[in-house]
A and B are shown apart, each in its own frame.
Chain A
Amino acid sequence: MPFDVYLNVAVGGLLTGLVYGLMALGLSVIFGVVRVVNFAHGEMMTVAMYIAIVLFSALHLDPLIMLVPISVVLFCFGYALQAGVINPFITRPEHSQFLLLVAIAIIIINVLLIIFGPDAQSVQTSYSYDSFQVGKLIVDATKLYAAAAALAVAVALYGFFQFTAIGTAIRACADNYTGALVVGLDVKHLYALTFGLGSACVGAAGVMLVLIVDVTPSLGPAYTLLAFVIVITGGLGSMPGALLGGVLIGLTEAMAGLIFTPSAKSMFAFAILVLVLLFRPQGIMGKKAA
Chain B
Amino acid sequence: MFSRLFENVSRRALVLLGALLIGLFGAPLVASDYLLTVLILILYFAYIGQAWNIMMGFAGQLSLGHALYVGLGAYTAAALYVHFGIGPWIGLLVAVPVAGLAGAFIGYLAFRFKVGGVYFAILTIAVAEFARVGFDHLTWTKGSSGLFLPVAQYTRNDLWLLRGQPVMFYYILLVAAALAFVFCRALLQSRIGYFWLAIREDEEAARSAGIDTFRYKMIAVVISSAMTSFAGVIYAFYYNNLFPEQVFHISRSIEIILGPIVGGVGTLFGPIIGAFLLTGMSETLIAALHALGIDIPGAKQVFYGFCLLLVIAALPDGIWPWLSRRIGLSEREK
Contact = CB atoms under 8 A, between A and B. Distances in A.
Interface string A261-290: 101101100110110011001000000000
Given A221-B250, A281-B113, A281-B114, A100 B312 contact: yes
A106 B123 contact: no
B23 interface: no
A267 B133 contact: yes
B56 A95 contact: yes
Contact of B312 (A37, A96, A229): A96
A264 B308 contact: no
Contact of B130 (A103, A113, A270): A270
Contact of A110 (B109, B250, B258, B305): B305
Given A94-B118, A113-B298, A229-B126, A278 B134 contact: no
B333 interface: no
Interface residues of A, number: 40
Contacts of B123: 273-274, 277
Interface residues on B, range: 35 or more
Given A100-B309, A221-B251, A266 B137 contact: no
Nearest to B128: A270
Contact of B126 (A106, A110, A270, A281): A270
Interface in A93-109: 94-96, 98-100, 102-104, 106-107, 109
Contacts of A263: 133, 136-137, 144
Given A263-B137, A278-B113, A281-B114, A270 B302 contact: no
Interface string A97-132: 011101110110111011000100000000000000
Contacts of B24: none
Interface in B111-146: 113-115, 117-119, 121-123, 125-127, 129-130, 133-134, 136-137, 144
Contact of A106 (B129, B262, B308, B312): B308
Interface of B: 56, 62, 64, 109-110, 113-115, 117-119, 121-123, 125-127, 129-130, 133-134, 136-137, 144, 250-251, 254, 257-258, 261-262, 265, 296-299, 301-302, 304-306, 308-309, 312-313, 316
18 contacts: A37-B118, A100-B312, A103-B309, A110-B302, A111-B298, A114-B296, A114-B302, A118-B297, A225-B125, A225-B126, A261-B137, A263-B144, A264-B133, A266-B129, A273-B122, A274-B109, A277-B115, A281-B114
